[in-house]
Amino acid sequence: MTTRAGSTAVVTGIGVVSSLGRDLTETFEALCAGKSGLTRPTPELAEATNIEVVSQAPDINPTEVLKPPIDPGVDRYLVLAMAAAEQAVRDAGLTVGENSEPERTAVVASTAGGALRTYEEHAAARRERGRQAVSPYLCPGMIPNMSAARIAIKYGIRGYSLLLSTACAGGGQALAEALRLIRAGDADVVVCGGSDAPLHPTVAAAFVNANSLAHGYEDPARASRPFDRDRNGYVLGEGAAFFVVERAEHADARKAAGYADLIGWGATTDAYHVTKPRPDGSGAAECMRRAIASAGLGPRDIGYINAHATSTGIGDVAEARAIRSLFGEETPPVSSTKSITGHLMGASGSFEAAATVLAVAHGTLPPTHNLDTVAPHCELNHVCGKPLQTEVRAALSNSFGFGGHNISLAFGAPSTRGRRVQGAGADD
């Protein structure tokens, strides 16, 4: 095998599924315009949990995205992952075995919860009706690696494969792993991303009982308020986002255009608390510093930060402190797209990376919506109210997860000969 260490990684395909829909163009337009995906839950979920606001992805028939035969009871997190991966592969014009070697193509997926609904349903059936009520498909339907495995099976990917589960940092960490593989010369193409489907009674009830979810808002679209004085929790959401990331030389050889280069990553662990970040934001600050250094840049080169900012009192303050500690009082423009998508859990890191890639590709920074009054200790150079048009040399996407997992990704202008503008193909 020829080693291609040190190669540039470029994003050539993106697929998204969220409460904003499945169309990449409409998703980015909604992020910029503030067309919220936040709604009231179904009556059944509301009655079972007292949850008030959710971010629900569209229903997808498993037959749309899975190769037959389809196992009974396929979990929703997997269907969302397959739908986003299919869109990303199609968007990239990738055909494994024709314009990508199967053994040089990899897949890295992530989920925070995996098939929680499937396990819960089978456990209830066993208690009610005994052993025979448990499907023989439960094990392959339940284990979380199946999103990576199913993607590999569908597209004939025979290289490296991995399932990551680092809570809400996982989607971002899947892209970091893709960059590692390409820089090490271990893959030419990586299909990577994250998915989650936590909108079922047990998980929703846990978050309600933890008093961590937004509540008390007459208009659900106003409930997610990152960095705002009146925030009182995040909105639980479901979705998926996947990418095709490849060596720039490989993309050029098959005449694929790029949205943006994935130029750096940084990861740290807070080692502080199972749910809370370090109050001073030191872990997040070091994570961003490493991402910038990995890209061969300095803090002044960063022109945008897509913040993790979930709309919680402790988390938003810690991240704001981290950003100021690294960049000083004159920070780059900052926004949180969770203001209209809510928190997509294990998919949040990859979905927000997609928003960051599109911001770089378009020179358009999506704003934080619902930011009426900046909360104390959250003072930053906020993009709010309307998008900011500006050329971005480099941007960061931050994702932080329960347990203290921190990941920051750095993106820059694409190095491929062809350049993408949101689903429009090459811009020569």
Q: Which residues are catalytic?
A: 168, 308, 343
How many of the other CB atoms lie within 10 Å of CB of 78? 28
CB hemisphere CA count around 329 (13 angstroms)? 0
Q: Is 362 helix (H, G, I), strand (E, B) or coil?
A: helix
**What string of DSSP letters covers 158-226?**
-S-EEEE--GGGHHHHHHHHHHHHHHHTS-SEEEEEEEE---SHHHHHHHHHTT-B----SSGGGS--T
In whole angstroms, give the CA distance from residue 11 to residue 256.
Answer: 10
DSSP assignment of 74-135 equals --HHHHHHHHHHHHHHHHHT--BTTTB-GGGEEEEEE-SS-SHHHHHHHHHHHHHH-GGGS-
Closest CA to 237 of 336, 325, 339, 163: 339
169 contact partners, CB below 8 Å, separation of at least 6: 267, 349, 399, 400, 401, 405, 406, 407
How many other C-beta atoms are found inside a 10 Å radius of the C-beta of residue 76? 23
- 15: Cα separation from own chain's centroid: 11
Residue partners of 377: CB distance under 8 A and separation at least 6 = 317, 320, 321
- Cβ neighbours of residue 59 closer than 8 Å, sequence gap 6 or more: none
Strand partners, 39: 54
Cα–Cα dist 82/136, whole Å: 22
> What is the Cα–Cα distance from 68 to 88, expressed in whole angstroms?
21
Task: Bin 187: left if φ > 0, else alpha if -120 < ψ < 50, else beta.
Answer: beta
Residue 26 has φ and ψ, to the nearest 5°, of -65, -35
